[in-house]
Amino acid sequence: MNVILEGKKVSKWYQMGEIRVDALKGVNFELYQGEFVVVLGPSGSGKSTLLNIIGGMDQVSAGELFYQGKPLQGAEESAMTLYRRNAVGFIFQFYNLMPNLTAYENVQLATEIATDPLSAADILAEVGLKDRAGHFPTQLSGGEQQRVAVARAVAKNPELLLCDEPTGALDLKTGIQILKLLRDFNLRYKKTVMVITHNAGIADMADRVFNLKDGELASVRVIDNPKAPEEVSW
């Protein structure tokens, strides 16, 4: 399988006055094209930091990071913007939709800037919100808002879909609907999906599971027969 992203001794620390807080301590990892990765770990283990670095929102303090062989560490701000624009799609725990854009316009916001986008209307139909396209976020339920967020991330047609606790604010049933959407995208378009969560139940549907502990990659588990999203529970 093709390696799409590779991290070599990725470290991240924050200087708080005289104290240095190490969030990531020399993590080595690879992400393959079309795989579904779940990153597990307790609070403070470095999950979000890893996601931010992979997502191009933050720079490494030390180490190297390659996207399709090209280095991301030390890249220009404009290069990072292009990377986020075309290579990465983000899904957050709290959706982060634009409150004054409708569901359709929120998706359009993404398709307008991407180089090879999918059709905003199609994607919205795929997430089952065809009839709610003209609604504003405040007029949608949490699950519906997260589906808009998924549609928005997917519509850019990115190689890498990064999800930060995508089900964290949802009930089980709604959460599973979201996971199903993510898995569908992953399988249908052969795109890499990385889900960050402290919810171990989700790990059962992954191809591989990263376990982070104290800023280090404690283990990588390969699952040969991952469960379907409908089968997982927590």
Partner 1 sequence: MLWKKMWRELRENKAAYLACITVIAIGLMLFVSMSVVFEGLSDAKNNFYGDYRFADGFADVSGLSQTQVERLASVEGVGSLEGRKVEDVRVFAPEREENVYLRLVSIRPEQTVRLNDVMLLAGAMPAAGTRNILVDPAFLEANGLQTGDIIPVIIAGKQVEFTVTGVGLSPEFVYILRNPMDIYPDPATFGVAYSPLDVMQTLFGDDSLNDIIFTLAAGDTYEDVEGRLKPRLESFGLESIYAREDQFSEAMLDQELNSVQSMVTSVPLLFLIVAATILYILLKRMVEQQRGQIGILKALGYSSREILFHYISYALIIGALGGILGSLLGFWLSYPLMTMYKTFFNLPGLTGCFSFSYLVLGVLFSTGFGVLAGYFGSKEVLKLQPSEAMRPPAPPPAKQTLLEGLRLYWDNLTVQGKMATRNAFRNLGRSFFTLIGVMFAFSLIATTGYFLSITDVLIMDQFTKVQTHDVKVVFAAPTDSEAARLELSHLPGVNRFEAYLEVPATISQSWYEKDTMILGLEADSEMYSLLTRNGVKVPLPPEGMVLSQNLAERLQAKIGSRLEIESPYAEDSPVYSEVVDIVPQYLGSNAYMDIDALGRLLGQGRISTAALLSVEEGAFPALKDRYREAQGVFSVEEKGSMLNKFTELMESYSFTYWILALFGMFTGFAVIYNSGIVSLSERRRELASLRVMGMTPPEVLQVLSFEQWFISLFGILAGVPMTMLFLQGMASAMDNDLFTFPVMFELQPFILGTVGTVASIWLTLRVIFRKIRRLSMVEALKERD
Size of the site for partner 1 (CB under 8 A): 34
Site residues (CB under 8 A) for partner 1, limited to 66-85: 77-78, 81-85
**Which position among 11, 86, 174, 199 is part of the footprint of partner 1 (CB under 8 A)?**
86
25 binds partner 1 (CB under 8 A): no
Site residues (CB under 8 A) for partner 1, limited to 167-196: none
**Which position among 4, 27, 72, 110 is part of the footprint of partner 1 (CB under 8 A)?**
110
Q: Which residues share a beta bridge with 11?
A: 62
The SS3 assignment for 96 reads coil
**Which position among 3, 20, 112, 188 is part of the footprint of partner 1 (CB under 8 A)?**
112
Interaction pattern, residues 126-165, with partner 1; x per rule: CB under 8 A: ----------xxxx------------x---x---------
Query: Which stretch, 62-70, 97-105, 195-203, 215-223, contacts partner 1 (CB under 8 A)?
Result: 97-105
The structure tokens listed for 205 are: 């549907």
The structure tokens listed for 225 are: 């027969």
How far, in Å, CA of 195 to CA of 109, rounded?
23
How far, in Å, CA of 51 to CA of 207, rounded?
18
Sign, Cα dihedral of 15, 21, 26, 31: negative
Nearest alpha carbon to residue 30 among 62, 67, 77, 57: 67
108 binds partner 1 (CB under 8 A): yes
The structure tokens listed for 40 are: 């597990």
**Which position among 75, 101, 121, 125 is part of the footprint of partner 1 (CB under 8 A)?**
101
The structure tokens listed for 65 are: 């990071």
How far, in Å, CA of 210 to CA of 190, rounded?
20
Given the rule CB under 8 A, which residues bind partner 1? 52, 55, 57-58, 77-78, 81-86, 88, 90, 92, 94, 96, 98-101, 105, 108-110, 112-114, 136-139, 152, 156
